[in-house]
Amino acid sequence: MDFISHDEKTIVEMLRIINIPEIDDLFQDIPEDLLIDSLDISNGMSEPDVMDKMKEYGTKNKIYPHSFLGAGCYYHYIPSLVDFVISRSEFYTSYTPYQAEASQGYLQAIYEYQSVISRLTEMEVANASMYDGSTSLAEAAIMASIITGKNQVILVEGVHPEYIDVVKTYCWGQNIELKITSEDKLNDLLTDDIAAVMFQSPNFFGDITDVLALSKEVKEKYPKCLLIQCMTDPTCLGLLKPPGKTDVDIFVAEGQSFGISPSFGGPGLGIFTAKKKFLRKIPGRLVGKTKELNGDREGFLLTLQAREQHIRREKASSNICTNQALCSLSALIYLVSLGKTGLREIANQNFQKSHYVKKAIALIPGYKILNKKPTYNEFIVKCPNIIGLIRECKRVNILPPLQVSTYYPEMLDIALVCVTELNSKDSIDKFIEAAKLANNNEEESAN
C-alpha cells in the first residue's frame, strides 16, 4: 500500500502532458551510476498483515497493571477528552500555522496552551513548546548565557541524571562551562561570572526545595545571576507554590504528565517559560493575539518570528523549528478537563498516597526513607534486599521502582519509589507485602 491514487492510464496521461516518454526520464539529472534499481526491503503489507506483525512485537513488551516506577516518566490518568481532541484530523494532520488565516483553530489552541501554562506556573511568558524537559533545560542554559553574556553555569545535583547528560552535551557544543555541585557547596562556586544556577525541584530523589529561600540566597549577593528551575512531573503544581511566585527566571518542565502516554519515553513535551523581560531571547515559537489590518476582528498568529532560525539563521540563539505542538494540545486539554479542582485533587492524591507508602515502608525492618525534605510523588528508600524487592514486585504483577544504582552505581540498594493517583490501595498493599517478603530473603542482597 503506497497511498497513491493514480492508475496506469492516469500516469500515461500525465507523462504525455509533461512531454516525457517514461517515468525514469524524470530522473535524468541523476548520474547513471547513482541510480539504484530497487531497495532490498520486502514488499509492502496490507493493514491486517501489518497489525499482526505489530501485535507480535507488542507481546514482547510487558505492560504491568500497576506501577511504582517514575524517574522522569509518569503514569497519570489521561482524560478521555485528550485523545478525542488530538484525534481530530484537522488538528493532527495540519502543518505549523504559518498561514494564520487558515489556521485560526490551532493558533487559538496554542494561545490557550501558552495561557494555561502561564496560569499554572504563574510565569509571565510561556512558549509553544520545546522537545522535552531535558532539552528545554539545556536550551535554558544557553539562553541564560546569551542574556548575561557569561559562559559559566552552575548545576545543582539532584537534577535528573539523563537531563544532566543532555545539558553537558549542549554546553560542550556552545563552549559553556558547566559546574556541577552539591547544594551545600553552591555558595562557594557563585561568582560574578556565573550566568545561571540550575536546579530541579521536586528533584530526582523526590526532595522539594524551598525555592523562594534559594532565590533570595543567590540573588542577594548576585542579583544578575539567573535562576533556572526544572521539573519532571508538574502535576505537583496543583498544590505546590508555582515558580512565578518564587522569583525563578526560567522555568522548564517535562509535560508528559499532562495527558501524554509514556510511549517508551517519547514524544514528550518541553514546557518552557520565563520572565517577560527575557521575552526576546526565548527560543521556540510564540503565538500572539492581534487585530485584522483592515477590520475589527481579533485573531492569532505566530509572532516575534525574528527570533527564530528561519529568519535569523546563524544568528539565531536556537535552531528549533518543529516542536511538540500536538503534545501541547494534549496538555491543554488535560489541564482544562481537570480544572483547578481536579488539578488540586490530583496533586493532593499524589502527595497523600506516596506519604502513605512512605509511612508503611518505614515500619518494615531494614527499610529506611532517605529524604530529609518534603517530597511529592517520589522518594528514595534504602532497602535490605533490592533484588528481592524487584522480584517480589514482578511476582504480583507490579512494575518495580527504579534501582538508583542504574544511574549512580555507588548508591546501592536504594530504590526510587513513585506513587501516583493511579496506585490503588490494593496495589499499595501488594507493594508493601512484596517489600516485607523481600526483607525475609536477605541473603540475596546486592552483590
Contact region with other proteins (CB under 8 A), list: 192-200, 221-229, 262-270, 434-442: 262-270
The minimum distance between CB 417 and other proteins, in angstroms, equals 13
Binders of other proteins among 64-103, rule CB under 8 A? 64, 67, 69, 71-73, 75, 77, 79, 81, 83-85, 87-97, 99-103
Helical pair 133-148 and 161-173, crossing angle rounded to 10 deg = 40
In single-letter form, the type of residue at position 70 comes to G
What's the N-to-C CA distance of the chain in angstroms?
Answer: 53
The minimum distance between CB 188 and other proteins, in angstroms, equals 26
Q: Does 278 bind other proteins (CB under 8 A)?
A: no
Give the C-alpha separation, 89 to 68, whole Å.
35
Q: Does 410 bind other proteins (CB under 8 A)?
A: no
Here the cell at position 421 is: 493517583
- Which own/partner contact pairs does 343-346 have at CB distance under 8 Å and 24+ positions apart? 343/120, 343/235, 343/237, 343/238, 344/238, 344/239, 345/238, 346/76, 346/77, 346/235, 346/238, 346/421
The minimum distance between CB 116 and other proteins, in angstroms, equals 6
Are 259 and 79 spatial neighbours (Cβ–Cβ below 8 Å)? yes
The minimum distance between CB 211 and other proteins, in angstroms, equals 9
Nearer to other proteins, 238 or 384 (CB): 238
Here the cell at position 148 is: 548575561
Residue with cell 523581560: 277
Nearer to other proteins, 125 or 446 (CB): 125
Nearer to other proteins, 133 or 388 (CB): 133
Near other proteins by CB under 8 A: residue from 66, 111, 206, 227:
111
Contact region with other proteins (CB under 8 A), list: 172-180, 219-227, 380-388, 436-444: 172-180
Q: Does 247 bind other proteins (CB under 8 A)?
A: no
Give the C-alpha separation, 97 to 359, whole Å.
50
The minimum distance between CB 375 and other proteins, in angstroms, equals 9
In single-letter form, the type of residue at position 383 comes to C
Give the C-alpha separation, 115 to 110, whole Å.
8
Nearer to other proteins, 301 or 438 (CB): 301
Give the C-alpha separation, 134 to 269, whole Å.
10
Q: Does 61 bind other proteins (CB under 8 A)?
A: yes
Near other proteins by CB under 8 A: residue from 140, 147, 170, 272:
170
Binders of other proteins among 181-200, rule CB under 8 A? none
Q: Does 212 bind other proteins (CB under 8 A)?
A: yes
Assess whether the previous peptide bond of 234 is cis (omega < 30° from 0).
Answer: no
Nearer to other proteins, 397 or 440 (CB): 397
Closest CA to 131 of 312, 318, 287, 371: 318
Q: Does 134 bind other proteins (CB under 8 A)?
A: yes
Residue with cell 556552545: 174
Binders of other proteins among 296-315, rule CB under 8 A? 297-301, 303-306, 308-315
CB neighbours of residue 312 within 10 Å: 14
The minimum distance between CB 420 and other proteins, in angstroms, equals 10
Are 130 and 323 spatial neighbours (Cβ–Cβ below 8 Å)? yes
Q: Does 352 bind other proteins (CB under 8 A)?
A: yes
Can you give the C-alpha Rg of the chain in angstroms?
A: 26
Give the C-alpha separation, 341 to 345, whole Å.
6
Contact region with other proteins (CB under 8 A), list: 37-45, 178-186, 218-226, 380-388: 37-45
Per-residue string for binding with other proteins, 420-439, x by CB under 8 A?
-xx-xx--x-----------
Q: Does 221 bind other proteins (CB under 8 A)?
A: no
The minimum distance between CB 184 and other proteins, in angstroms, equals 20
Near other proteins by CB under 8 A: residue from 66, 109, 204, 378:
109
Judged by CB under 8 A, the number of residues near other proteins is 202
Sheet order of strands, 250-254 included: 125-126, 270-274, 250-254, 226-231, 194-200, 152-156, 177-181
CB neighbours of residue 377 within 10 Å: 29
Q: Does 368 bind other proteins (CB under 8 A)?
A: no
Near other proteins by CB under 8 A: residue from 145, 257, 318, 439:
318
Give the C-alpha separation, 112 to 116, whole Å.
6
Binders of other proteins among 321-340, rule CB under 8 A? 321-327, 329, 333, 335-340
Are 125 and 282 spatial neighbours (Cβ–Cβ below 8 Å)? yes
Contact region with other proteins (CB under 8 A), list: 61-69, 185-193, 377-385, 430-438: 61-69
Q: Does 292 bind other proteins (CB under 8 A)?
A: yes
Near other proteins by CB under 8 A: residue from 241, 275, 368, 382:
241
